[in-house]
Amino acid sequence: MPPVFPSVEWLANFENKLNNDDRYAQIAKNWEGDICFVIEPEDNLKEQVIFYLDLWHGSCRKTEVLSECGGDDKPAFILKAKYNNFARIVQGKLDPMQAMMTRRLQVEGSMAYMMRNVPTVLDFVRCAREVTDEIV
């Protein structure tokens, strides 16, 4: 049974996918920056979920579920959205770049860096989509 988004199992499978996908490793070879995904409750998701990913030169050095994102160890990027918007991105029903531009996915961090690395962003999302399209 495939892992359900957003779960600890999904995050572990996503880390594995990122670390074993040759295409992602090549496309993201220059990426430097960790990310927090803040998934706000909506519909079937009753509580906020925060995923942390330490991404560095085409690999994922660490993932974890956090109770808060930021503080002294603020990541390079914080991506925040309601559950349905994240779910639609993972299912391939919402383009991540369009979601950023229309503020359905809020970005804290260097938007210029994100825009210079669109291929990396899109391949990162491809990997997320290939983990599962099962949602809560």
Q: Are 50 and 101 in contact (CB under 8 A)?
A: no
* CA–CA separation, 79 and 17 (whole Å): 20
Instruction: Please give the domain boundaries of the chain with CATH numbers for all domains.
Output: 8-128 (3.30.1050.10)
pLDDT in tens, the chain (136 residues): 788 999 999 999 999 999 999 999 999 999 999 999 999 999 989 999 999 999 999 999 999 999 998 777 789 999 999 999 999 999 989 999 899 989 999 999 998 999 899 999 999 999 999 998 778 7
Whole-model pTM above 0.85? yes
Largest CA distance in the chain: 39
Query: For residue 40, what are the β-bridge partners?
Result: 82
* φ and ψ at residue 20, rounded to 5 degrees: -125, 15
